[in-house]
Amino acid sequence: MATSEKEEERDWSELPPELIHVIAKKVPDLVDFIRFRAACKTWRSSAPLSDPPDQLPWLLELYYPCSLRRRQRYYSVSSGKTLMIPFTRRKLKLRSWIRRGVSSHYLAFNDEYHTVSFFNPLTKSWFSLPPMRRCLHYGTPWMVWTGTDPIRDRCIVVVDRNRTLYNEIGGWFFLDPHNNEWVEQEGYFFSTCYWQGMIFSTHKGWPTKVFDAYSKELLHDIPPPENEVLKDLYVKGDLHWNLRKSYLIVSSGVILRVSWYNDRDRNIIEESVFHIYRLDFETADDKPCWVRVADIGDQILFLEEMNGFSITARPSTGFRKGCIYFIDPEENKPYIHDVLAGTVERLPCPFKKCTWFLPGL
From the list 199, 103, 197, 109, the residue with the least C-alpha distance to 151 is 103
Residue 247 scores a pLDDT above 60: yes
- Eight-class DSSP state of 231: S
Peptide bond into 65 cis (omega under 30): yes
More confident residue, 65 or 142: 142
**How far apart, in Å, are the Cα atoms of 188 and each of 96, 163, 173, 326?**
22, 10, 12, 24
pTM above 0.75, yes or no: yes
Read off the pLDDT of residues 41-97 as tens digits, 9 standing for 90 and up: 777 777 777 677 777 899 999 887 667 888 889 998 888 889 888 887 766 677 778
Greatest CA separation for the chain: 81
The architecture that CATH gives domain 54-358 is: 6 Propeller (2.120)
Identify the pLDDT of residue 336: 96
Q: Which residue blocks in the chain are alpha helix, DSSP H?
A: 2-8, 17-25, 30-37, 41-46
Under the banding of pLDDT at 50, 70 and 90, the label for residue 238 is low
Identify the pLDDT of residue 83: 87
Read off the pLDDT of residues 316-328 as tens digits, 9 standing for 90 and up: 677 889 999 999 9
Sorted by where each begins, the domain ranges of the chain are: 1-53, 54-358
In the β-sheet with 103-104, what is the strand arrangement from edge to edge? 81-86, 71-76, 58-61, 354-358, 103-104
Asked if 270 and 347 count as a contact pair (C-beta separation under 8 A), the reply is no
- Indicate the residue type of 275: H
Q: What is the mean pLDDT of the chain?
A: 82
Under the banding of pLDDT at 50, 70 and 90, the label for residue 170 is confident
